Structure 1
Amino acid sequence: MSEYFSNIKTGAVTIATGMGITLKHFFNAVKRKGDAGVDDADYFRQVDGLCTLQYPREVIPTPVNGRYRLHNNIEDCIGCGQCVRACPISCITMETIKVTNDDLAVCGKTSNGQQKKFWVPVFDIDVAKCMTCGICVSVCPTECLVHTPVSDFSEFDRQNMIYHFGNLTRMEAEAKRRKAAEQQAQAVKEKQAAAAKAAAENGGQQA
């Protein structure tokens, strides 16, 4: 019989303790923790207050060293392709077009002064496949490929998860391809002409 009443007492105490904790949080909820954000370093130190975030206006702070959605500063991209080769899941697609000699000034230089020698009409990142390993970022020689603090994103259409960073439109890319092909053909002709001239001169000397 004593055990029976003891169990009732234990249950009542447990319920009262739980309700006390619940009421404490209930009354503390009239206070706000404040807007959470990436720069709010003290967010997790706030114990009391309403903890529900008003998403998407408020977000959980992301660590400074966190690896999240990739971004390519195409103005600094030299089209070397190291990121494409390094990606273990092939989520980066890139196409390049060699810059003709008269277009070097138009193509420009990177922010550190390196001359760009390739147009990059296609630089696509499939973020739905990206596992944020950071290998592509570590091998990028111009540091144009970076992880951003954006960690919370979704789309209704799968194709919208592919981010495009190319620096030419489709029509511009076609024009640059034709121009590069013409320059290459002209270089081949000049090389063949020089070889023929050298052969003729050698033949004349032997005679």
Structure 2
Amino acid sequence: MIRKVFNVFITVFKGLKLTLGHFFAATESRKVKAISDPNYFAQNSGITTIQYPHVKLPVPEVGRYQLDVEMDDCIVCDLCAKICPVDCIDIESIKSIEAIGKTSDGTTKRLYAAKFDIDMAKCMYCGLCTVVCPTECIVMTDTYDRSMIDLNEMTYKFSDMTAAEADEKRFALEQLNAERFAAKQLALQQNTGNQI
């Protein structure tokens, strides 16, 4: 019995010694080092936390964080939405009646992006959408702190087309398709009239 009580005091003494050692050693702040630094985990004494958001740790170059889309380079090919395993990318395209411009790599744009939304609350940060993009317009940035109270604020809308503009483009496409259909019907009637 006396031996057990003695072991309790020894254990408490060792724990307090360890705690007080850390308490008095915590006089200097953590030095901010890059993750690629070979001595990244070498700090054994001092304060181990940093004063976030005033002090931030460097972000690795290959880190996957916030998605961003450069709409001027987007050809609205829909590959990113198709490969997304959690369906967090929602794209609605409208076919143009003529070429609407070129991307920075020279690809001709033929589709309007009526809707290009990414729901970052659903995103699993796999990076597949950035890999399949032929014009490399969708990238992962180094921004990682996007805390929101409402989940609807986590849906980022990249398309700058208004609903009225989208309706106008749809109407122009419908008119063009109607004119083409009428021209085909007229040509078909002329061909059948010539054969009789």
Same fold (TM over 0.5): yes
Which has a greater percent of helix?
1
Q: Indicate the residue corresponding to 1:161 in structure 2.
A: 154
State the number of aligned residues: 194
Q: 1:90 aligns with which of 67, 87, 92?
A: 87
Give percent identity, aligned residues only: 39
1: distance between equivalents of 2:104 and 2:192? 46
Which letter does structure 2 place at the counterpart of 1:108? G
Q: Which runs of 5+ in 1 are unaligned?
A: none
Alpha-carbon RMSD across the aligned residues, in angstroms, is: 2.6
Q: Does the aligned pair in 1 maintain the 2:95–2:112 contact within 8 Å?
A: yes
Alpha-carbon displacement from aligned partner over 1:103-144 (angstroms, at most 9, x marks no partner): x2xx32112100011010201111111122333233222222
Give the secondary structure class of the aligned counterpart of 2:72: helix
TM normalised by structure 1 equals 0.78
Give the secondary structure class of the aligned counterpart of 1:141: coil
Which letter does structure 1 place at the counterpart of 2:134? P
Q: Does the aligned pair in 1 maintain the 2:29–2:50 contact within 8 Å?
A: no
Moved more, 91-100 or 76-85: 76-85
Q: Does 2:104 align with 1:111? A: yes
Q: Which runs of 5+ in 2 are unaligned?
A: none
Q: How does 1:1-207 map to 2 (within 5 A)?
A: 4=2, 8=6, 10-35=7-32, 41-42=36-37, 43-101=40-98, 104=99, 107-203=100-196
1: distance between equivalents of 2:163 and 2:55? 39
Which letter does structure 1 place at the counterpart of 2:152? Q
TM normalised by structure 2 equals 0.81
Moved more, 137-146 or 18-27: 18-27
Which letter does structure 2 place at the counterpart of 1:175? E
Q: Does the aligned pair in 1 maintain the 2:88–2:120 contact within 8 Å?
A: yes
Q: Does the aligned pair in 1 maintain the 2:81–2:90 contact within 8 Å?
A: yes
Moved more, 138-147 or 121-130: 138-147
2: distance between equivalents of 1:35 and 1:166? 38
